[in-house]
Amino acid sequence: MSSSIAQLAQALRERKTSATELTGQAIAAAKNRAGLNALITLDETGALAAAGRADAVLARDGASALAGIPFAHKDIFCTNGLRTTCASRMLNHFVPPYDATVVEKLAGAHAVSIGKANMDEFAMGSSNENSFHGPVKNPWDTARVPGGSSGGSAALVAAGVVPFATGTDTGGSIRQPAAFCGVTGLKPTYGRVSRFGMIAFASSLDCGGMLARGAEDCAHVLAAMAGHDVRDATSANRAVDDYVGALSKSLQGLRIGIAREYFGAGIDAGVGAAVQDSLKQYEKLGATLVDISLPNAALAIPAYYVIAPAEASSNLARYDGVRYGHRCADPKSLEDLYTRTRAEGFGAEVKRRILVGTYALSAGYYDAYYLRAQRVRRLIANDFGEAFKTVDVIAGPTTPTVAFKLGEKNADPLAMYAEDVNTVAVNLAGLPAISLPAGFSAGMPVGLQLIAPAFEEAHLLNAAHQFQLATDWHARTPEGAA
């Protein structure tokens, strides 16, 4: 399904197709591309029922742009009556009694969910190899990873199964898979999208967003997802901008900051060349490139991998075999219940991060690690603040390399963590960022990342959309795409 949301919406309005027909096509495509392992749960019955309701709405005037459009939810969003696993054995049979706010909002727009996308367990990973349900494969090369943790969502969009999918981004988990799979991925400002019903990894970093073919599609989806939610104490109480209306603005005079730290050692030559070519395209569109520095960028990875595991250690303490989720058989004591339930229920990467986080929060180490990381976090946010006094957006490669081979980095966690080098700082500062296709290196997609000040998603989407009007990287699809 390579058509954009706007194209599909027009076809629905003109009665050239129906929501039921589009949903049937998406379900068929999902089955045809089952080898990608991008879906955990295919909700065929629920999807066709929702499509029927969408067709009834489309028969009347006033339907939203998303009405009747099929999509997939990352399996981290709670769905009432539909299994939500977070790609973990711990929640393999968990069926929530309520919907996440993101689920409610998209259902309210009459978009049609076909099921739940695969992901790294509890959103912990950069390759989507940490899933209890097995790794997802990249549609461009099935011997390579799709990126993580929203790898299933990215693979479904890249393969043309659905025009968009929801995702979450704690340290790059929307943008990195978007770059690896050649699609567009938007991480909004922290607090712009409600976290209610989104299973927590690191509460001060988690952010809901989406992956789609292009920035215009992301604008339509964000318009439906964004807004204040009284059920989420971190939700921003401010008006939602007209994201779609802002797309057509000229980029004449746009100041793009080029952070030298994003083009340093470790960046693959082909990735760097593709991004530099994209920046030249921005100059043709009227933008000005400005050299800037983010002095504390090198500290983002160590700070993130203290703060995020610390919050994970706290959040995942709730999975103890008592209230819900996996429970070990025949526990001999309360300690035995806790120990065996958690040992059986969590995968290796989740256990590693819990151990790191618990250590960082322990007596005697809190000040040395966690408190110091929080101070570095403030320095990183200040760097962005200073940069945005002279530029409108900041640009650089989304990832230092293209998608790597399945299993290539599993034996070296630090090498895996280094894949997030250009993305984690955005989460530490709570800023919006987007990854958009910007060319190819060694036959694999390259992502360009744009970062904006807080709540400037409209300007970010405008900058991305105007680039995509002038290029066709986002329209390229892998062989066999639906």
Concerning whether 441 is annotated as a catalytic residue, the answer is: no
User: Peptide bond before 127: cis, by omega within 30 degrees of 0?
Assistant: no
* Pairwise CA distance, residues 334 & 325, whole Å: 16
Concerning whether 74 is annotated as a catalytic residue, the answer is: yes
* Pairwise CA distance, residues 10 & 1, whole Å: 15
* Pairwise CA distance, residues 312 & 82, whole Å: 25
Q: Which of 4, 18, 64, 74 is catalytic?
A: 74
pLDDT at residue 481, as a whole number: 78
Out of 3.90.1300.10, 3.30.1360.30, 3.20.20.300, 3.40.190.10, select the CATH number for domain 5-252+403-475: 3.90.1300.10
CA separation, residue 482 to residues 3, 30, 51 (Å): 10, 9, 19
Concerning whether 173 is annotated as a catalytic residue, the answer is: yes
* Pairwise CA distance, residues 240 & 229, whole Å: 12
pTM of the predicted protein model: 0.96
* Pairwise CA distance, residues 389 & 294, whole Å: 13
Per-residue burial over 156-191, b if 16 or more Cβ lie within 10 Å, else e, is bbbbbbbbbbbbbbbbbbbbbbbbbbbbbbbbbbbb
At 39 the three-state DSSP class reads strand
* Pairwise CA distance, residues 4 & 475, whole Å: 10
- Residue 381 CB contacts under 8 Å (≥ 6 apart), including other chains: 428, 429, 430
* Pairwise CA distance, residues 280 & 299, whole Å: 29
Closest to 84 in 3D by CA, of 129, 118, 125 = 118
- Strands (E) across 62-143 are located at 70-74, 112-117
Task: Per residue of the chain (482 residues), give pLDDT as tens.
Answer: 778 999 999 999 999 999 999 999 999 999 999 999 999 999 999 999 999 999 999 999 889 999 999 999 999 999 999 999 999 999 999 999 999 999 999 999 999 999 999 999 999 999 999 999 999 999 999 999 999 999 999 999 999 999 999 999 999 999 999 999 999 999 999 999 999 999 999 999 999 999 999 999 999 999 999 999 999 999 999 999 999 999 999 999 999 999 999 998 789 999 999 999 999 999 999 999 999 999 999 999 999 999 999 999 999 999 999 999 999 999 999 999 999 999 999 999 999 999 999 999 998 889 889 999 999 999 999 999 999 999 999 999 999 999 999 999 998 988 899 889 999 999 999 999 999 999 999 999 999 999 999 999 999 999 999 999 999 999 999 987 77
* Pairwise CA distance, residues 134 & 149, whole Å: 13
Q: Which of 18, 150, 173, 194 is catalytic?
A: 173
Q: Which of 4, 127, 149, 435 is catalytic?
A: 149
